[in-house]
């Protein structure tokens, strides 16, 4: 129970109480919390105290309030370290979740201007276009689109459902990503993207456009990831050294 005579404000005590219940598994992702009135009665505090505690939990991203339905425990976000070169599969394995993929596209297409420029090839040259829907613990979280120069045409002969494209690339050609550059911005989900990711058309997404290079600075691929920002946190470390 909360301590009325404590130096710690009651709303902080209540916030800590609920947070601990979430962390120890008493409340699981998707569970509905008590109503504000029920919580006030249970802990012997005012509605204002309850609202301040819930507001603080919402700021931490631990709960979400759904209009007319109540307050629910959120799913923990996936965190991706953008400083570290790692594949989606490696990121999932590091976080203890199971990676997955569904092949959407694997074919030759003529390179558009931005792709041709990024890969250092002529406009309209054929490139290998691979697009996949990526899963974390069977939940669709990202659409990954990559364009490879024609020397990687052997990728057309493989399927990349639930297996690593970059492991295959390394095994077949000995090439692996040594560096990459990324541009991160907000975008809105198209109807197709919304259908694949289980969100609404127009929902805010994260767009990460990237070009990856081998150890000699030659482009390996250019492409983009459309990421469900409700499920992902992108981590970047900066230094002036």
Residues 178 and 86 both lie in one domain = yes
pLDDT interval class at 239 (50, 70, 90): low
Examine residue 3 and state whether it is found in any structural domain, yes or no.
no
Examine residue 4 and state whether it is found in any structural domain, yes or no.
no
- Strands ordered across the beta sheet of 126-136: 99-110, 126-136, 139-148, 219-227, 204-213, 179-188
Mean pLDDT over 163-192 rounds to 90
Q: 102 pLDDT exceeds 80? A: yes
Residues 69 and 155 both lie in one domain = no
Examine residue 240 and state whether it is found in any structural domain, yes or no.
no
- Say which residues have a Cβ less than 8 Å from residue 36's Cβ, sequence separation at least 6: 47, 50, 51, 54
Q: 167 pLDDT exceeds 70? A: yes
Out of 73, 98, 117, a domain closes at 73
CATH number, domain at 60? 1.10.10.10
Expressed as residue numbers, the domain containing 35 is 10-73
Tokens of 149: 């120069």
> Beta 179-188 vs 204-213: how paired, if at all?
antiparallel
Model's pTM, two decimal places?
A: 0.71
pLDDT digits (tens, 9 = 90+) for 147-163: 999 999 999 998 888 77
* Number of domains composing the chain: 2
Mean pLDDT over 22-26 rounds to 87
Out of 39, 56, 73, a domain closes at 73
Residues 163 and 225 both lie in one domain = yes
**How far is CA 195 from its chain centroid?**
16
Examine residue 44 and state whether it is found in any structural domain, yes or no.
yes
pLDDT for residue 39: 94
pLDDT digits (tens, 9 = 90+) for 31-85: 999 999 999 999 999 999 999 999 999 888 788 888 888 999 987 777 676 666 7
Residues 108 and 24 both lie in one domain = no
Examine residue 163 and state whether it is found in any structural domain, yes or no.
yes
Examine residue 127 and state whether it is found in any structural domain, yes or no.
yes
pLDDT for residue 154: 94
Residues 156 and 112 both lie in one domain = yes
Range in 93-97, 116-120, 145-149, 179-183 the model is least confident about: 93-97
pLDDT digits (tens, 9 = 90+) for 181-235: 999 999 999 999 999 999 999 998 999 999 999 999 999 999 999 998 877 776 6
CATH number, domain at 118? 3.40.1410.10
Q: 94 pLDDT exceeds 80? A: no
Rounded distance, CA 109 to CA 107, Å?
6
Residues 55 and 142 both lie in one domain = no
pLDDT interval class at 4 (50, 70, 90): confident
């Amino acid at each position: 129970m909360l301590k009325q005579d404590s130096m710690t404000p009651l709303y902080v005590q209540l916030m800590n109480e609920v947070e601990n219940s979430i962390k120890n598994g008493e409340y699981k992702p998707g569970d509905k919390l008590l109503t504000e009135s029920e919580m006030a009665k249970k802990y012997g505090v005012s509605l204002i105290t309850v609202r301040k505690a819930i507001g603080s939990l919402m700021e931490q991203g631990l709960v979400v309030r759904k209009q007319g339905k109540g307050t629910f425990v959120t799913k923990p976000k996936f965190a991706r370290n953008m400083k570290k070169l790692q594949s989606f599969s490696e990121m999932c394995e590091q976080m203890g979740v199971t990676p997955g993929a569904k092949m959407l596209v694997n074919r030759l297409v003529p390179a558009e201007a931005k792709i041709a420029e990024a890969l250092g090839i002529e406009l309209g040259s054929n490139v290998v276009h691979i697009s996949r829907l990526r899963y974390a613990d069977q939940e669709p979280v990202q659409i990954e689109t990559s364009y490879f120069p024609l020397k990687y045409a052997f990728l057309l002969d493989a399927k990349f459902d639930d297996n690593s494209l970059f492991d295959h690339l390394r095994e077949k050609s000995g090439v692996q990503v040594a560096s990459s550059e990324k541009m991160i911005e907000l975008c809105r989900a198209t109807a197709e993207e919304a259908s694949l990711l289980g969100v609404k058309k127009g929902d805010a997404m994260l767009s990460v456009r990237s070009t990856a290079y081998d150890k000699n600075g030659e482009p390996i691929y250019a492409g983009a990831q459309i990421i469900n920002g409700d499920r992902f946190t992108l981590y970047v470390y900066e230094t002036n050294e």
